[in-house]
Structure 1
Amino acid sequence: MTSALEHNLHSPEPDETLLRELQTFGRFIGSWGLEWSRPGDPDAPVGVHGELHFGWVLGGRAVQDVWIVPADGTAERPFGFHGSTIRFFDRDRGVWRSTWIEPVNARVRKFIGREVGDEIHLVSTDAEPFLRWRFTEIAPDRFVWLGEFSDDEARTWRLEERMVAKRRRDALRE
């Protein structure tokens, strides 16, 4: 049985009037396995697996995702997380507006996103440090997500997290 929330939040397909714009994140709809790492951090755990799920929401006008690391849901500070992003294309500004909410580490960040060459860049300047999240090496069944930060107002960026995502064939695509 579908709850009223599920019925009104989830959408089976994208809004037809936004098909071209929505493809930026729409190509990720479905479920993914993650290999998470924190390069250069000797205190970070290694061999951590997670999962990621993308779906259409809000009448097919937005894309929501859920990131879970580690995959068993036992996220603990500071290296584990279980959060969600809602993204929509802002036609007036020609950019993606995105908000990340993650209760384990008590984080909420707003991002502005756009395609840059073959990548997708999301930048947050609403708090220190500035953050840049990049989707790179994008293919139908794989992509690499890079989490970077800048403590000099985006003059330079340093890698903090890296995730390799592989599409899961064992999960239903929604």
Structure 2
Amino acid sequence: MLHEVLHAPEPTGADELELFGRLSGSWRLSWRGLGPDGTWSTAVGELHVGRVLGGRAVQDVWVVPGPGEPGAGVPPRAFHGTTVRFPDPQVPGTWRSTWMDPVNGRVRRFTGRPTGDGGVVLLSDDDRPWLRWRFTDVRADSFTWSAETSRDDGRTWVHDELMTARRVD
């Protein structure tokens, strides 16, 4: 029954939901991440996105490395988490987003906004370090996701993750 009440085939407020709703479907991910020693690691994974909660939100599930891949489910490099995102009715053009990753015990809240060039930037500044996540080069069959970290309240940023996504459905 959960899937029947959680998933929604159609959006409520279609125009607002398209910022993330356009990503609905399944994706293959190529991930690069910067380790504490300054070296980059790589992995492949998957992403699944859909409308939920009566069509009022968009939920995604990220799995890196993907099932059966080396390092799958092994912290701290692996993540298997979900994000629920919805337009903030109090602040037009703004999204609320919460990321949960039980593999690493992380929960982060973000505020998201469109960038004007078809992308999205999300900022989490209510905990340390600050995180900035970006969706760029968004097309029907691909996009790029990147992550930056700031340990000085946004004065400087370190680019520490990059994923390219290719639609598989």
Structure 1 length normalisation: TM-score?
0.89
SS of the counterpart of 2:138? strand
Deviating above 6 A after TM superposition, structure 1's stretches of 4 or more consecutive aligned residues are: none
In structure 2, relative to structure 1, the CA distance for the partners of 1:36 and 1:97 (3 Å cut) is same
Task: Write the letter of the residue equivalent to 2:168.
Answer: R
- Separation in 2, partners of 1:87, 1:38: 24
Offset at residue 39 of structure 1 (A)? 4.7
**Structure-1 residue corresponding to 2:113:** 114
Q: Percentage identity across aligned positions?
A: 51
**Structure-2 residue corresponding to 1:172:** none
Match of 1:80 among 78, 82, 87: 78
Offset at residue 117 of structure 1 (A)? 2.0
Structure 2 length normalisation: TM-score?
0.92
* 1:8-19 map, 5 Å: 8-15=5-12, 18-19=13-14
Asked if 1:49 corresponds to 2:73, the answer is no
Unpaired runs of 5+ in structure 2?
none
- Maintained 8 Å contact 1:142/1:167: yes
Unpaired runs of 5+ in structure 1?
170-174
Task: Write the letter of the residue equivalent to 2:41.
Answer: P
- Maintained 8 Å contact 2:48/2:60: yes
- Separation in 1, partners of 2:79, 2:136: 21
- Maintained 8 Å contact 1:39/1:162: no
Task: Write the letter of the residue equivalent to 2:127.
Answer: A
